[in-house]
């Protein structure tokens, strides 16, 4: 994990830019995960991925992580909040504004981790998200 006291150039990006990358990172990992489950038909792939990539599912994961003491670092929470608080000109089709904003924060966090070279932490959080969604049916 990166030293929280050392600034990185990616910490300066706005929440939307970080979420843009995080969305792609998470989407690829979820697609890989559902393929590994043995899903191969396009409609089944999409259906299997929905619960993981939906704003509602991501918001539940983020809420769960925030509630846990010491699960996320101070810097990770800061980046999440930057994504969550970013003023978006769009809204989710099938999510509340609150869920959409929390999901944007979730994606911003993953984007920042990926861009700042914290691959292991990023992968760990993705695996934790998958596990939580599987257990809670988010």
* CATH code for the domain in which residue 124 is found: 1.10.1520.10
* Mean pLDDT taken over the chain: 88
**Residue numbers annotated as active site:** 23
pLDDT of res. 37: 87
* Residue 102 · residue 59 · CB < 8 Å: yes
Q: What pTM was estimated for this model as a whole?
A: 0.88
pLDDT digits (tens, 9 = 90+) for 22-58: 999 999 999 999 999 887 787 788 888 988 999 999 9
pLDDT digits (tens, 9 = 90+) for 87-121: 766 666 778 888 999 999 999 999 999 999 999 99
Is pLDDT at 1 greater than 50 in this prediction? Answer: no
Domain assignment present for 8:
no
Domain encompassing residue 67: 13-136
Domain assignment present for 90:
yes
- Interatomic CA distance for residues 114 and 111, integer angstroms: 5
Domain assignment present for 4:
no
Domain assignment present for 103:
yes
Domain assignment present for 2:
no
Say how many domains are in the chain.
Answer: 1
Q: Is 17 helix (H, G, I), strand (E, B) or coil?
A: helix
Domain assignment present for 113:
yes
Domain assignment present for 102:
yes
DSSP 7: -
- Interatomic CA distance for residues 21 and 36, integer angstroms: 23
């Amino acid at each position: 994990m990166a030293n929280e006291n050392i600034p990185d150039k990616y910490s300066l990006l706005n929440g939307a830019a970080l979420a843009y990358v995080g969305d792609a990172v998470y989407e690829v990992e979820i697609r890989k995960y559902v393929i590994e489950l043995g899903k191969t038909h396009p409609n089944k792939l999409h259906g299997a991925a929905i619960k993981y990539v939906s704003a509602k599912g991501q918001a539940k994961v983020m809420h769960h992580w925030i509630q846990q003491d010491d699960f996320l670092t101070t810097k990770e929470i800061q980046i999440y909040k930057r994504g969550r608080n970013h003023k978006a000109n769009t809204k989710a089709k099938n999510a509340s504004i609150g869920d959409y904003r929390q999901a944007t924060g979730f994606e911003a966090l993953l984007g920042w981790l990926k861009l700042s070279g914290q691959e292991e932490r990023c992968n760990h959080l993705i695996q934790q998200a998958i596990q939580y969604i599987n257990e809670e049916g988010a």
